[in-house]
């Protein structure tokens, strides 16, 4: 059974009871009032007929008495009139009354002997009748007979039936109107919000937590919708948090597997570097000895110089592999960024000129100091300048800038830090979007064969992370590359004494 049906029944039952009680009280009061009115009317009519009869009997006008009786008998609500002599015998009555029972003997005797009028209610042929029995007197006051006027009270019952019919009709209309109003209100105020809630329940059950129930009112359903929406928001936030945790766990597992692979590669690189280093030193030494024993300009000397150059290149690759395989522990001290960067730029100035690269510097006037290993910082800046130079084979511009700022690290749930930023921005060929996520991976390079090992950025990134910083990269093909190194700024109270931290 629906809510509307139950509510309609709950309203209809008390309404019927109230209307029934009202109808009973109204019918009872109306019946009593109508009976009193009819009784007053009957007494007045009986008194009028009594006077008229006494006048006619005094004048001995029997025909007038009969005519008066017939005339009164035809009056509305009057059943008939009977005239009695002093002995109680009927002198005259209309023909219609012959079949009705005689008057009440006690009341008739009281009227004839004592002159006392009487009112008697009884039923004649299933009709309620009110009888008035009054004495008839001569001019001297002697009782010469009696008069019985019978008045119908069926009008009271007819009025009661009409009243009941009106009450029934009114009750039915009120129930009908109440039911229609209840169902309409239920449909607007209850059914629609419940349907919306049910729809949201189904959507949530299917996994759609973005579903929301519209809040149209500020009643109980509105508060329920608000509470339900709040629950969905918390569930959605929990789901996002869980998904984020799962994604973070997946990334951590991926990084762990990657770290394990890098450790294996590092061990392999360390072994290869040791195995290659010894014969490489022998070859290099013999080539230098032969080159010193030959005159300059001979073909053999030129070939030995090429051999020596390539041996130096192999040695540099071996050193990079060793640096990657076993990063030395940094010796941290309070270090100025500008002096280290200036040494690197002075060292690279000759290569910039050879590569037709114009250097544009924008160094902050304020002293920027960090707690770092100067040698490792030098290595990072040198690697970034070398990569920028290699990215501009036809020349270009390298912009180097330093600044101090508040910056938020890439780690989640971390506040901003006071950092020193060193930016290297070139106008080179740029890096494709699909390669940006791999530029810091070991042995990843976009340079041609023989031009790089893919360890420079990886080693640089590891050094900066060891110092508590990070590197941001922004690049696009044909637009150049901007690499920004962020290092935590050193506090003034930091000691200048070197200290060793574990890698």
**pLDDT tens-digit map of 407-449:** 888 876 667 888 999 999 999 888 888 877 777 776 666 665 4
C-beta separation of 136 from 144 below 8 A = yes
C-beta separation of 385 from 377 below 8 A = no
Read off the tokens for 317: 């690759």
**H/E run at residue 121:** strand 118-124
Q: For the chain, how far is it from start to end, CA to CA, in angstroms?
A: 75
Residue closest to 165 by CA, chosen among 60, 27, 347: 27
- CA–CA distance, 388 with 359 (Å, rounded to integer): 11
Mean local confidence (pLDDT), 359-368: 80
- Match domain 330-500 to its CATH number in 3.10.105.10, 3.40.30.10, 3.90.1710.10, 3.30.565.10: 3.30.565.10
CA distances from residue 469 to 11, 33, 94, 464, 485 in whole angstroms, order as listed: 75, 105, 131, 5, 7
When comparing pLDDT for 241 and 192, which is higher? 241
Mean local confidence (pLDDT), 348-366: 86
pLDDT in tens, 24-53: 777 677 767 777 777 787 778 778 777 877
pLDDT in tens, 57-93: 776 676 777 777 777 776 767 788 888 888 888 888 8
Q: What is the pLDDT of residue 321?
A: 64
Q: What is the pLDDT of residue 422?
A: 93
User: H/E/C letters for each residue in 251-285?
Assistant: HHHHHHHHHHHHHHHHHHHHHHHHHHHHHHHHHHH
Is 2's pLDDT higher than 70? no
**Domain 3-160: CATH superfamily, name plus number:** PAS domain (3.30.450.20)
Q: What is the pLDDT of residue 28?
A: 73
Residue 403, strand partner residues: 421
Read off the tokens for 238: 């929990």
DSSP state of 489: B
Mean pLDDT lowest for which of 110-124, 293-307, 430-444? 430-444
Mean local confidence (pLDDT), 469-490: 89
Q: What is the pLDDT of residue 105?
A: 86
Q: Percent of the chain having pLDDT more than 90?
A: 5
- Which residues lie below 8 Å from residue 152, measured CB to CB, with a gap of 6+? 77, 78, 79, 127, 128, 129
Q: What is the pLDDT of residue 74?
A: 66
Mean pLDDT estimate for the chain: 78
pLDDT in tens, 306-330: 888 778 777 766 766 666 555 567 7
Residue 401, strand partner residues: 362, 423
């Amino acid at each position: 059974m629906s809510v509307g049906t139950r509510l309609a029944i709950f309203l209809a039952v008390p309404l019927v009871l109230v209307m029934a009680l009202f109808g009973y009280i109204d019918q009872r009061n109306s019946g009593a009032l109508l009976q009193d009115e009819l009784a007053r009317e009957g007494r007045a009519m009986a008194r009028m007929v009594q006077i008229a009869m006494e006048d006619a009997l005094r004048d001995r006008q029997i025909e007038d008495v009969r005519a008066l009786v017939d005339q009164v008998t035809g009056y509305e609500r009057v059943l008939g009139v009977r005239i009695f002599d002093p002995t109680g015998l009927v002198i005259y009555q209309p023909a219609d009354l012959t079949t009705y029972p005689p008057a009440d003997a006690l009341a008739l005797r009281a009227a004839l002997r004592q002159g006392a009028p009487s009112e008697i209610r009884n039923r004649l042929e299933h009709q309620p009748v009110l009888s008035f029995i009054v004495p008839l007197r001569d001019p001297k006051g002697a009782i010469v007979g009696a008069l019985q006027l019978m008045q119908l009270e069926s009008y009271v019952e007819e009025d009661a039936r009409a009243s009941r019919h009106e009450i029934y009709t009114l009750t039915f209309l009120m129930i009908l109107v109440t039911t229609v109003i209840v169902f309409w209100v239920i449909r607007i105020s209850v059914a629609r919000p419940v349907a919306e809630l049910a729809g949201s329940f189904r959507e949530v059950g299917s996994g759609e937590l973005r579903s929301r129930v519209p809040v149209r009112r500020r009643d109980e359903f509105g508060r329920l919708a608000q509470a339900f929406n709040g629950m969905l928001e918390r569930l959605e936030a929990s789901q996002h948090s869980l998904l984020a945790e799962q994604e973070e766990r997946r990334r951590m597992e991926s990084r762990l597997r990657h770290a394990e692979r890098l450790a294996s590669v590092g061990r392999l690189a360390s072994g290869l570097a040791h195995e290659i280093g010894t014969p490489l030193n022998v070859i290099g030494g013999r080539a230098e000895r032969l080159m010193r024993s030959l005159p300059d300009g001979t073909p053999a000397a030129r070939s030995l110089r090429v051999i020596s150059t390539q041996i130096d290149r192999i040695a540099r690759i071996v050193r990079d592999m060793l640096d990657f395989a076993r990063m030395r522990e940094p010796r941290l001290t309070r270090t100025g960024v500008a002096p280290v960067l200036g040494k690197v730029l002075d060292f690279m100035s000759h290569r910039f000129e050879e590569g037709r690269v114009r250097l544009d510097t924008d160094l902050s006037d304020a002293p920027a100091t960090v707690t770092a290993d100067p040698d490792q910082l030098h290595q990072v800046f040198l690697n970034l300048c070398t990569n920028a130079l290699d990215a501009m084979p036809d020349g270009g511009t390298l912009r180097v800038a330093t600044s101090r700022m508040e910056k938020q690290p890439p780690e989640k749930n971390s506040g901003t830090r006071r950092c020193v930023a060193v930016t290297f921005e070139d106008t080179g060929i740029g890096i494709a979007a699909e390669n940006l996520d791999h530029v810091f991976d070991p042995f990843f390079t976009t340079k041609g064969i023989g031009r790089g090992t893919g360890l420079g950025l990886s080693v640089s990134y590891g050094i900066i992370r060891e110092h508590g910083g990070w590197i941001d990269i922004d690049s696009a093909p044909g637009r150049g590359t901007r690499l920004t190194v962020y290092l935590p700024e050193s506090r003034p109270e930091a000691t200048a004494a070197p200290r060793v931290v574990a890698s």
